[in-house]
Structure 1
Amino acid sequence: MTLAVARGPSLTEQAAAYIRGRIVRGMLQCGEPLSELAIAQELGISKTPVREAILELKRQGLVDVQPQRGTFVFEMSADQVVQLAEVRSILELAALGLAMDRDQRALGRRWSEIVSAMELALAKGNTERYRVLDGAFHQAMFDVADNQYLTETFTVIAFRIQALRNRLSLDPELNNTSCDEHQRLLQHVGRGEVDKAIKLLAWHIEWTRDRYIKLLQALATSQTTVRNHERRQRAGRT
Protein backbone atom coordinates (compact mmCIF):
# COMPACT_ATOMS: atom_id res chain seq x y z
CA MET A 1 0.00 0.00 0.00
CA THR A 2 1.33 3.43 -0.97
CA LEU A 3 1.25 6.12 1.70
CA ALA A 4 0.08 9.52 0.54
CA VAL A 5 2.48 12.38 1.29
CA ALA A 6 0.76 15.55 2.44
CA ARG A 7 1.75 18.96 1.16
CA GLY A 8 3.62 21.32 3.44
CA PRO A 9 7.15 20.32 4.38
CA SER A 10 9.41 19.34 1.49
CA LEU A 11 9.50 15.73 0.35
CA THR A 12 12.99 15.42 1.77
CA GLU A 13 11.83 16.66 5.19
CA GLN A 14 8.87 14.31 5.15
CA ALA A 15 11.05 11.35 4.18
CA ALA A 16 13.57 12.21 6.92
CA ALA A 17 10.78 12.49 9.50
CA TYR A 18 9.33 9.16 8.37
CA ILE A 19 12.63 7.28 8.61
CA ARG A 20 13.59 9.02 11.86
CA GLY A 21 10.23 8.15 13.38
CA ARG A 22 10.61 4.48 12.51
CA ILE A 23 14.09 4.40 14.06
CA VAL A 24 13.04 6.24 17.22
CA ARG A 25 9.93 4.07 17.72
CA GLY A 26 11.96 0.90 17.29
CA MET A 27 10.33 -0.16 14.03
CA LEU A 28 13.82 -0.05 12.51
CA GLN A 29 16.43 -1.56 14.83
CA CYS A 30 20.11 -0.64 15.19
CA GLY A 31 22.16 -2.13 12.36
CA GLU A 32 19.12 -2.87 10.19
CA PRO A 33 19.58 -2.14 6.45
CA LEU A 34 17.57 0.62 4.77
CA SER A 35 16.27 0.42 1.21
CA GLU A 36 15.85 3.72 -0.65
CA LEU A 37 13.53 2.03 -3.13
CA ALA A 38 11.31 0.46 -0.47
CA ILE A 39 11.01 3.73 1.46
CA ALA A 40 10.26 5.67 -1.73
CA GLN A 41 7.52 3.19 -2.62
CA GLU A 42 6.03 3.37 0.87
CA LEU A 43 5.85 7.16 0.65
CA GLY A 44 4.83 7.28 -3.01
CA ILE A 45 7.75 9.51 -3.99
CA SER A 46 10.93 9.21 -6.06
CA LYS A 47 14.23 7.98 -4.64
CA THR A 48 15.88 11.42 -4.86
CA PRO A 49 14.26 13.00 -1.77
CA VAL A 50 14.74 9.72 0.10
CA ARG A 51 18.44 9.78 -0.76
CA GLU A 52 18.68 13.40 0.42
CA ALA A 53 16.81 12.49 3.62
CA ILE A 54 19.28 9.69 4.32
CA LEU A 55 22.18 12.13 3.94
CA GLU A 56 20.51 14.42 6.48
CA LEU A 57 20.00 11.53 8.90
CA LYS A 58 23.65 10.56 8.36
CA ARG A 59 24.65 14.05 9.54
CA GLN A 60 22.46 13.50 12.62
CA GLY A 61 24.21 10.20 13.32
CA LEU A 62 21.10 8.07 12.88
CA VAL A 63 22.16 6.17 9.76
CA ASP A 64 25.45 4.82 8.48
CA VAL A 65 26.13 4.92 4.73
CA GLN A 66 28.71 2.31 3.73
CA PRO A 67 30.03 2.44 0.14
CA GLN A 68 29.46 -0.77 -1.82
CA ARG A 69 27.43 -2.20 1.08
CA GLY A 70 24.41 0.02 1.61
CA THR A 71 22.73 2.14 4.25
CA PHE A 72 22.07 0.95 7.80
CA VAL A 73 20.50 2.23 10.98
CA PHE A 74 23.30 3.39 13.28
CA GLU A 75 25.05 1.04 15.67
CA MET A 76 27.16 1.93 18.69
CA SER A 77 30.16 0.31 20.31
CA ALA A 78 30.53 0.06 24.08
CA ASP A 79 32.97 3.00 24.03
CA GLN A 80 30.49 5.14 22.09
CA VAL A 81 27.72 4.26 24.55
CA VAL A 82 29.95 5.42 27.41
CA GLN A 83 30.72 8.69 25.61
CA LEU A 84 27.05 9.29 24.85
CA ALA A 85 26.17 8.68 28.50
CA GLU A 86 28.82 11.19 29.58
CA VAL A 87 27.33 13.91 27.38
CA ARG A 88 23.81 12.96 28.37
CA SER A 89 24.70 13.20 32.05
CA ILE A 90 26.22 16.67 31.66
CA LEU A 91 23.17 18.00 29.80
CA GLU A 92 20.40 16.32 31.80
CA LEU A 93 21.84 17.12 35.21
CA ALA A 94 22.20 20.75 34.17
CA ALA A 95 18.63 20.79 32.84
CA LEU A 96 17.25 19.26 36.04
CA GLY A 97 19.06 21.78 38.22
CA LEU A 98 17.84 24.71 36.13
CA ALA A 99 14.29 23.38 35.95
CA MET A 100 14.04 22.96 39.72
CA ASP A 101 15.54 26.40 40.27
CA ARG A 102 13.23 28.15 37.81
CA ASP A 103 9.92 26.37 38.28
CA GLN A 104 9.99 23.30 40.49
CA ARG A 105 6.20 23.10 40.64
CA ALA A 106 5.84 23.16 36.87
CA LEU A 107 8.34 20.31 36.54
CA GLY A 108 6.49 18.38 39.25
CA ARG A 109 3.17 18.82 37.44
CA ARG A 110 4.62 17.74 34.10
CA TRP A 111 6.35 14.74 35.60
CA SER A 112 3.29 13.72 37.60
CA GLU A 113 1.18 13.56 34.43
CA ILE A 114 3.86 11.65 32.53
CA VAL A 115 4.57 9.15 35.33
CA SER A 116 0.84 8.39 35.67
CA ALA A 117 0.68 7.70 31.95
CA MET A 118 3.85 5.58 32.14
CA GLU A 119 2.33 3.45 34.89
CA LEU A 120 -0.80 2.92 32.80
CA ALA A 121 1.21 2.01 29.70
CA LEU A 122 3.28 -0.44 31.74
CA ALA A 123 0.16 -2.03 33.23
CA LYS A 124 -1.26 -2.53 29.72
CA GLY A 125 2.01 -3.90 28.37
CA ASN A 126 2.21 -1.08 25.83
CA THR A 127 5.99 -0.84 25.51
CA GLU A 128 5.90 1.55 22.53
CA ARG A 129 3.78 4.02 24.49
CA TYR A 130 6.07 3.59 27.50
CA ARG A 131 9.15 4.42 25.39
CA VAL A 132 7.56 7.60 24.08
CA LEU A 133 6.61 8.69 27.59
CA ASP A 134 10.09 7.88 28.88
CA GLY A 135 11.52 10.26 26.30
CA ALA A 136 8.92 12.90 27.20
CA PHE A 137 9.87 12.61 30.88
CA HIS A 138 13.47 13.55 30.17
CA GLN A 139 12.51 16.21 27.61
CA ALA A 140 10.30 17.91 30.23
CA MET A 141 13.40 18.97 32.17
CA PHE A 142 14.68 20.92 29.19
CA ASP A 143 11.26 22.45 28.52
CA VAL A 144 10.97 23.78 32.07
CA ALA A 145 14.65 24.82 32.22
CA ASP A 146 13.82 27.07 29.25
CA ASN A 147 17.36 27.46 27.93
CA GLN A 148 17.39 27.52 24.14
CA TYR A 149 21.03 26.54 23.76
CA LEU A 150 20.83 23.72 26.27
CA THR A 151 17.78 22.32 24.49
CA GLU A 152 19.38 22.60 21.06
CA THR A 153 22.48 20.79 22.28
CA PHE A 154 20.41 17.98 23.76
CA THR A 155 18.42 17.63 20.53
CA VAL A 156 21.63 16.54 18.78
CA ILE A 157 21.71 13.33 20.83
CA ALA A 158 18.05 12.95 21.82
CA PHE A 159 17.03 10.83 18.82
CA ARG A 160 19.94 8.47 19.36
CA ILE A 161 19.12 8.11 23.07
CA GLN A 162 15.52 7.29 22.21
CA ALA A 163 16.56 4.68 19.66
CA LEU A 164 18.79 3.00 22.25
CA ARG A 165 15.95 3.18 24.78
CA ASN A 166 13.84 1.13 22.38
CA ARG A 167 16.12 -1.86 22.74
CA LEU A 168 16.16 -1.80 26.53
CA SER A 169 12.39 -1.42 26.81
CA LEU A 170 11.87 -4.84 25.21
CA ASP A 171 12.68 -6.32 28.65
CA PRO A 172 9.69 -6.03 31.05
CA GLU A 173 11.97 -6.27 34.10
CA LEU A 174 13.99 -3.29 32.92
CA ASN A 175 10.80 -1.32 32.30
CA ASN A 176 9.67 -1.97 35.87
CA THR A 177 12.99 -0.74 37.25
CA SER A 178 12.88 2.29 34.97
CA CYS A 179 9.36 3.20 36.05
CA ASP A 180 10.31 2.90 39.71
CA GLU A 181 13.22 5.31 39.20
CA HIS A 182 11.00 7.83 37.44
CA GLN A 183 8.53 7.65 40.34
CA ARG A 184 11.35 8.31 42.82
CA LEU A 185 12.62 11.24 40.77
CA LEU A 186 9.12 12.71 40.85
CA GLN A 187 9.02 12.33 44.65
CA HIS A 188 12.35 14.14 45.07
CA VAL A 189 11.18 17.01 42.90
CA GLY A 190 7.89 17.25 44.78
CA ARG A 191 9.81 17.56 48.05
CA GLY A 192 12.28 20.05 46.63
CA GLU A 193 15.17 17.62 47.17
CA VAL A 194 17.48 18.96 44.48
CA ASP A 195 20.63 17.09 45.48
CA LYS A 196 18.81 13.76 45.83
CA ALA A 197 17.06 14.23 42.48
CA ILE A 198 20.34 15.03 40.69
CA LYS A 199 22.11 12.09 42.33
CA LEU A 200 19.33 9.68 41.34
CA LEU A 201 19.22 10.99 37.77
CA ALA A 202 22.98 10.50 37.47
CA TRP A 203 22.60 6.93 38.72
CA HIS A 204 19.68 6.34 36.32
CA ILE A 205 21.80 7.40 33.33
CA GLU A 206 24.69 5.20 34.48
CA TRP A 207 22.31 2.25 34.96
CA THR A 208 20.93 2.70 31.45
CA ARG A 209 24.48 2.87 30.07
CA ASP A 210 25.52 -0.34 31.83
CA ARG A 211 22.40 -2.23 30.76
CA TYR A 212 22.93 -1.30 27.13
CA ILE A 213 26.58 -2.35 27.24
CA LYS A 214 25.48 -5.72 28.65
CA LEU A 215 22.99 -6.00 25.80
CA LEU A 216 25.73 -5.29 23.26
CA GLN A 217 27.90 -7.97 24.83
CA ALA A 218 25.04 -10.48 24.75
CA LEU A 219 24.36 -9.72 21.08
CA ALA A 220 28.05 -10.09 20.24
CA THR A 221 28.16 -13.47 21.99
CA SER A 222 25.03 -14.60 20.17
CA GLN A 223 26.42 -13.54 16.79
CA THR A 224 29.69 -15.35 17.48
CA THR A 225 27.77 -18.51 18.36
CA VAL A 226 25.80 -18.30 15.11
CA ARG A 227 28.96 -17.75 13.03
CA ASN A 228 30.72 -20.69 14.71
CA HIS A 229 27.70 -22.90 14.04
CA GLU A 230 27.68 -21.87 10.37
CA ARG A 231 31.41 -22.63 10.09
CA ARG A 232 30.89 -26.10 11.57
CA GLN A 233 28.07 -26.74 9.13
CA ARG A 234 30.20 -25.68 6.16
CA ALA A 235 33.11 -27.80 7.42
CA GLY A 236 30.81 -30.80 7.70
CA ARG A 237 29.77 -30.45 4.08
CA THR A 238 33.35 -30.40 2.76
Structure 2
Amino acid sequence: MSTTGDVFVTLTLARGPSLTEQAAAHIRGRIVHGTLQCGEPLSELALAQELGVSKTPVREALLELKRQGLVEIHPQRGTFVFEMSSAQVVQLAEMRSILELAALRLAMDRNGQALSLRWAELVAAMDVAMANENTEDYRVLDGVFHQVMFDLAENQFLSETFTVIAFRIQALRNRLSLDPALNEKSHGEHKRLVALAAGGEAEKVAELLAWHIEWTRSSYIDLLGLPAGDSRSTRGGERRLKAGK
Protein backbone atom coordinates (compact mmCIF):
# COMPACT_ATOMS: atom_id res chain seq x y z
CA MET A 1 0.00 0.00 0.00
CA SER A 2 1.33 3.47 -0.89
CA THR A 3 0.17 6.87 0.31
CA THR A 4 0.02 10.35 -1.21
CA GLY A 5 -0.97 12.86 1.46
CA ASP A 6 -4.17 11.50 2.99
CA VAL A 7 -4.98 9.33 -0.04
CA PHE A 8 -4.28 5.62 0.30
CA VAL A 9 -3.74 3.61 -2.85
CA THR A 10 -3.80 -0.19 -2.70
CA LEU A 11 -1.51 -1.86 -5.21
CA THR A 12 -2.48 -5.31 -6.43
CA LEU A 13 0.43 -7.20 -7.92
CA ALA A 14 -0.47 -9.70 -10.60
CA ARG A 15 1.27 -13.04 -10.19
CA GLY A 16 1.53 -15.63 -12.89
CA PRO A 17 1.62 -19.36 -12.24
CA SER A 18 4.73 -20.51 -10.40
CA LEU A 19 7.03 -23.15 -11.87
CA THR A 20 5.51 -25.66 -9.46
CA GLU A 21 1.98 -24.79 -10.59
CA GLN A 22 2.99 -25.03 -14.25
CA ALA A 23 4.69 -28.38 -13.69
CA ALA A 24 1.68 -29.72 -11.78
CA ALA A 25 -0.71 -28.60 -14.54
CA HIS A 26 1.44 -30.26 -17.22
CA ILE A 27 1.81 -33.59 -15.41
CA ARG A 28 -1.83 -33.59 -14.31
CA GLY A 29 -2.94 -33.03 -17.90
CA ARG A 30 -0.90 -35.99 -19.12
CA ILE A 31 -2.33 -38.24 -16.42
CA VAL A 32 -5.94 -37.14 -16.82
CA HIS A 33 -5.86 -37.35 -20.62
CA GLY A 34 -4.28 -40.80 -20.53
CA THR A 35 -0.86 -39.98 -21.98
CA LEU A 36 0.62 -41.45 -18.82
CA GLN A 37 -0.78 -44.86 -17.93
CA CYS A 38 -2.02 -45.95 -14.53
CA GLY A 39 0.90 -47.33 -12.54
CA GLU A 40 3.52 -45.81 -14.84
CA PRO A 41 6.70 -44.73 -12.99
CA LEU A 42 7.49 -41.01 -12.97
CA SER A 43 11.07 -39.74 -13.01
CA GLU A 44 11.70 -36.34 -11.44
CA LEU A 45 14.81 -35.93 -13.60
CA ALA A 46 13.06 -36.85 -16.85
CA LEU A 47 10.11 -34.57 -16.09
CA ALA A 48 12.44 -31.71 -15.13
CA GLN A 49 14.35 -32.08 -18.40
CA GLU A 50 11.10 -32.26 -20.36
CA LEU A 51 9.84 -29.06 -18.74
CA GLY A 52 13.18 -27.26 -18.73
CA VAL A 53 13.19 -26.67 -14.97
CA SER A 54 15.08 -27.95 -11.95
CA LYS A 55 13.89 -30.99 -10.01
CA THR A 56 12.62 -28.86 -7.10
CA PRO A 57 9.40 -27.56 -8.74
CA VAL A 58 8.78 -31.02 -10.20
CA ARG A 59 9.14 -32.62 -6.76
CA GLU A 60 6.74 -30.05 -5.28
CA ALA A 61 4.33 -30.59 -8.18
CA LEU A 62 4.30 -34.34 -7.56
CA LEU A 63 3.50 -33.76 -3.89
CA GLU A 64 0.53 -31.62 -4.95
CA LEU A 65 -0.64 -34.31 -7.38
CA LYS A 66 -0.33 -36.86 -4.58
CA ARG A 67 -2.75 -34.75 -2.54
CA GLN A 68 -5.11 -34.80 -5.54
CA GLY A 69 -4.90 -38.59 -5.72
CA LEU A 70 -3.22 -38.67 -9.13
CA VAL A 71 0.20 -39.99 -8.11
CA GLU A 72 1.47 -42.39 -5.49
CA ILE A 73 4.81 -41.83 -3.78
CA HIS A 74 6.44 -44.90 -2.26
CA PRO A 75 9.65 -44.45 -0.23
CA GLN A 76 12.56 -46.46 -1.63
CA ARG A 77 10.47 -47.38 -4.69
CA GLY A 78 9.64 -44.14 -6.45
CA THR A 79 6.69 -42.16 -7.75
CA PHE A 80 3.96 -43.64 -9.94
CA VAL A 81 0.75 -42.61 -11.67
CA PHE A 82 -2.19 -43.66 -9.48
CA GLU A 83 -3.69 -47.13 -9.71
CA MET A 84 -7.10 -48.30 -8.55
CA SER A 85 -8.47 -51.70 -7.62
CA SER A 86 -12.05 -52.60 -8.47
CA ALA A 87 -12.95 -52.07 -4.79
CA GLN A 88 -11.56 -48.53 -4.99
CA VAL A 89 -13.48 -47.87 -8.21
CA VAL A 90 -16.65 -48.91 -6.38
CA GLN A 91 -15.83 -46.60 -3.47
CA LEU A 92 -15.10 -43.74 -5.85
CA ALA A 93 -18.46 -44.27 -7.56
CA GLU A 94 -20.20 -44.31 -4.18
CA MET A 95 -18.67 -40.98 -3.21
CA ARG A 96 -19.37 -39.55 -6.65
CA SER A 97 -23.03 -40.56 -6.38
CA ILE A 98 -23.40 -38.95 -2.95
CA LEU A 99 -21.83 -35.68 -4.08
CA GLU A 100 -23.39 -35.41 -7.54
CA LEU A 101 -26.91 -36.19 -6.33
CA ALA A 102 -26.56 -33.57 -3.60
CA ALA A 103 -25.26 -31.04 -6.13
CA LEU A 104 -28.06 -31.89 -8.56
CA ARG A 105 -30.80 -31.32 -5.99
CA LEU A 106 -29.32 -28.00 -4.87
CA ALA A 107 -28.75 -26.83 -8.45
CA MET A 108 -32.30 -27.71 -9.53
CA ASP A 109 -33.74 -26.03 -6.45
CA ARG A 110 -31.66 -22.86 -6.72
CA ASN A 111 -30.90 -22.56 -10.43
CA GLY A 112 -33.11 -25.09 -12.20
CA GLN A 113 -33.63 -23.09 -15.38
CA ALA A 114 -29.96 -22.20 -15.67
CA LEU A 115 -29.01 -25.87 -15.22
CA SER A 116 -31.44 -26.96 -17.91
CA LEU A 117 -30.18 -24.34 -20.38
CA ARG A 118 -26.51 -25.03 -19.69
CA TRP A 119 -26.99 -28.77 -20.03
CA ALA A 120 -28.82 -28.26 -23.33
CA GLU A 121 -25.92 -26.15 -24.64
CA LEU A 122 -23.42 -28.82 -23.64
CA VAL A 123 -25.42 -31.64 -25.22
CA ALA A 124 -25.62 -29.63 -28.46
CA ALA A 125 -21.83 -29.30 -28.39
CA MET A 126 -21.59 -33.04 -27.66
CA ASP A 127 -23.72 -33.71 -30.75
CA VAL A 128 -21.12 -31.90 -32.85
CA ALA A 129 -18.22 -33.74 -31.20
CA MET A 130 -19.90 -37.10 -31.76
CA ALA A 131 -20.72 -36.28 -35.39
CA ASN A 132 -17.08 -35.34 -35.98
CA GLU A 133 -15.83 -38.39 -34.04
CA ASN A 134 -13.92 -35.98 -31.81
CA THR A 135 -13.45 -38.09 -28.71
CA GLU A 136 -11.23 -35.56 -26.97
CA ASP A 137 -13.83 -32.78 -27.18
CA TYR A 138 -16.59 -35.16 -26.14
CA ARG A 139 -14.88 -36.31 -22.96
CA VAL A 140 -14.07 -32.72 -21.95
CA LEU A 141 -17.72 -31.76 -22.46
CA ASP A 142 -18.78 -34.83 -20.49
CA GLY A 143 -16.72 -33.62 -17.54
CA VAL A 144 -18.14 -30.10 -17.79
CA PHE A 145 -21.69 -31.52 -17.93
CA HIS A 146 -21.22 -32.99 -14.46
CA GLN A 147 -19.22 -30.04 -13.09
CA VAL A 148 -22.05 -27.62 -13.95
CA MET A 149 -24.18 -29.13 -11.19
CA PHE A 150 -21.61 -28.08 -8.61
CA ASP A 151 -21.21 -24.63 -10.13
CA LEU A 152 -24.97 -24.02 -9.91
CA ALA A 153 -25.45 -25.68 -6.51
CA GLU A 154 -23.82 -22.60 -4.97
CA ASN A 155 -22.25 -24.53 -2.13
CA GLN A 156 -18.54 -23.88 -1.69
CA PHE A 157 -17.89 -26.84 0.58
CA LEU A 158 -19.68 -29.30 -1.67
CA SER A 159 -17.59 -28.10 -4.61
CA GLU A 160 -14.36 -28.32 -2.63
CA THR A 161 -15.17 -31.86 -1.53
CA PHE A 162 -15.85 -32.92 -5.11
CA THR A 163 -12.50 -31.47 -6.19
CA VAL A 164 -10.79 -34.16 -4.09
CA ILE A 165 -12.01 -36.88 -6.48
CA ALA A 166 -12.74 -34.90 -9.67
CA PHE A 167 -9.39 -35.46 -11.38
CA ARG A 168 -9.49 -39.22 -10.80
CA ILE A 169 -13.04 -39.35 -12.16
CA GLN A 170 -11.97 -37.46 -15.28
CA ALA A 171 -8.93 -39.70 -15.72
CA LEU A 172 -11.15 -42.79 -15.65
CA ARG A 173 -13.74 -41.09 -17.88
CA ASN A 174 -11.09 -40.37 -20.49
CA ARG A 175 -10.05 -44.02 -20.53
CA LEU A 176 -13.68 -45.14 -20.79
CA SER A 177 -14.25 -42.87 -23.79
CA LEU A 178 -11.81 -44.92 -25.86
CA ASP A 179 -14.82 -47.10 -26.73
CA PRO A 180 -17.16 -45.33 -29.24
CA ALA A 181 -20.11 -47.55 -28.28
CA LEU A 182 -19.85 -46.45 -24.67
CA ASN A 183 -19.70 -42.81 -25.76
CA GLU A 184 -22.95 -43.32 -27.69
CA LYS A 185 -24.63 -44.79 -24.62
CA SER A 186 -23.30 -42.06 -22.36
CA HIS A 187 -24.45 -39.37 -24.78
CA GLY A 188 -27.93 -40.84 -24.95
CA GLU A 189 -28.20 -40.67 -21.17
CA HIS A 190 -27.06 -37.05 -21.16
CA LYS A 191 -29.84 -36.24 -23.63
CA ARG A 192 -32.40 -37.94 -21.39
CA LEU A 193 -31.14 -35.97 -18.39
CA VAL A 194 -31.58 -32.74 -20.35
CA ALA A 195 -35.14 -33.64 -21.34
CA LEU A 196 -36.11 -34.52 -17.77
CA ALA A 197 -34.48 -31.38 -16.36
CA ALA A 198 -36.31 -29.22 -18.91
CA GLY A 199 -39.57 -30.70 -17.65
CA GLY A 200 -38.63 -29.95 -14.04
CA GLU A 201 -38.79 -33.64 -13.10
CA ALA A 202 -36.21 -33.46 -10.33
CA GLU A 203 -36.75 -36.96 -8.91
CA LYS A 204 -36.55 -38.62 -12.32
CA VAL A 205 -33.38 -36.67 -13.10
CA ALA A 206 -31.89 -37.89 -9.81
CA GLU A 207 -32.88 -41.50 -10.54
CA LEU A 208 -31.32 -41.40 -14.00
CA LEU A 209 -28.16 -39.70 -12.74
CA ALA A 210 -27.76 -42.37 -10.04
CA TRP A 211 -28.20 -45.09 -12.67
CA HIS A 212 -25.74 -43.32 -15.00
CA ILE A 213 -23.05 -43.27 -12.29
CA GLU A 214 -23.70 -46.93 -11.47
CA TRP A 215 -23.40 -47.85 -15.15
CA THR A 216 -20.09 -46.00 -15.51
CA ARG A 217 -18.79 -47.77 -12.39
CA SER A 218 -19.53 -51.16 -13.95
CA SER A 219 -18.06 -50.03 -17.27
CA TYR A 220 -14.82 -48.89 -15.61
CA ILE A 221 -14.37 -52.28 -13.97
CA ASP A 222 -15.26 -54.21 -17.13
CA LEU A 223 -12.95 -52.20 -19.38
CA LEU A 224 -10.09 -52.34 -16.91
CA GLY A 225 -10.42 -56.10 -16.73
CA LEU A 226 -11.13 -56.25 -13.00
CA PRO A 227 -14.00 -58.44 -11.78
CA ALA A 228 -15.94 -57.00 -8.85
CA GLY A 229 -14.12 -57.58 -5.58
CA ASP A 230 -10.75 -58.11 -7.29
CA SER A 231 -7.94 -56.27 -5.53
CA ARG A 232 -5.72 -56.02 -8.60
CA SER A 233 -4.83 -52.61 -9.96
CA THR A 234 -6.02 -50.84 -13.11
CA ARG A 235 -2.67 -51.12 -14.83
CA GLY A 236 -3.09 -54.43 -16.67
CA GLY A 237 -6.54 -53.53 -17.93
CA GLU A 238 -5.36 -50.17 -19.17
CA ARG A 239 -2.62 -51.83 -21.18
CA ARG A 240 -5.25 -54.05 -22.81
CA LEU A 241 -7.32 -50.97 -23.64
CA LYS A 242 -4.38 -49.24 -25.31
CA ALA A 243 -3.62 -52.41 -27.26
CA GLY A 244 -7.22 -52.58 -28.46
CA LYS A 245 -7.88 -55.95 -26.81
Code of the aligned partner of 2:34: G
TM-score under structure 1 normalisation? 0.87
Code of the aligned partner of 2:36: L
Code of the aligned partner of 2:155: N
Aligned to 2:9: none
CA distance in 1, matches of 2:236, 2:203: 42
Give the alignment's Cα RMSD to 1 decimal: 2.1
- Which residue of 153, 169, 183 corresponds with 1:175? 183
Residue 66 of structure 1: how far off its partner (Å): 2.5
- Structure 2 residue 143 is the aligned partner of structure 1 residue 132: no
Aligned to 2:211: 203
Aligned to 2:202: 194
Aligned to 2:76: 68
Aligned to 1:233: none
Query: Aligned runs of 1:108-119 on 2, under 5 Å?
Result: 108-119=116-127
Aligned to 2:115: 107
Q: Which ranges in structure 1 are unaligned for 5 or more consecutive residues?
A: 1-6, 227-238
- Structure 2 residue 152 is the aligned partner of structure 1 residue 144: yes
For 1:112-157, what per-residue CA distance to the aligned partner results, in whole angstroms no more than 9, with x for missing partners? 1111111111111111111111100000001111111110110110
Identity level (%):
72
Code of the aligned partner of 1:74: F
CA distance in 2, matches of 1:197, 1:215: 26
Aligned to 1:215: 223
Residue 21 of structure 1: how far off its partner (Å): 1.4
For 1:166-197, what per-residue CA distance to the aligned partner results, in whole angstroms no more than 9, with x for missing partners? 11000000000000000000001000010110
Alignment coverage as a number of residue pairs: 219
SS at match of 1:27: coil
TM-score under structure 2 normalisation? 0.84
Residue 57 of structure 1: how far off its partner (Å): 0.9
Code of the aligned partner of 2:213: I
CA distance in 1, matches of 2:20, 2:226: 37
Residue 42 of structure 1: how far off its partner (Å): 2.0
- Which residue of 37, 45, 48 corresponds with 1:40? 48
Aligned to 2:7: none
Gap change, CA 1:146 and 1:33, over 3 Å in 2: same
CA distance in 1, matches of 2:236, 2:29: 27
- Looking at secondary structure, tell me which structure has more helix per residue: 1
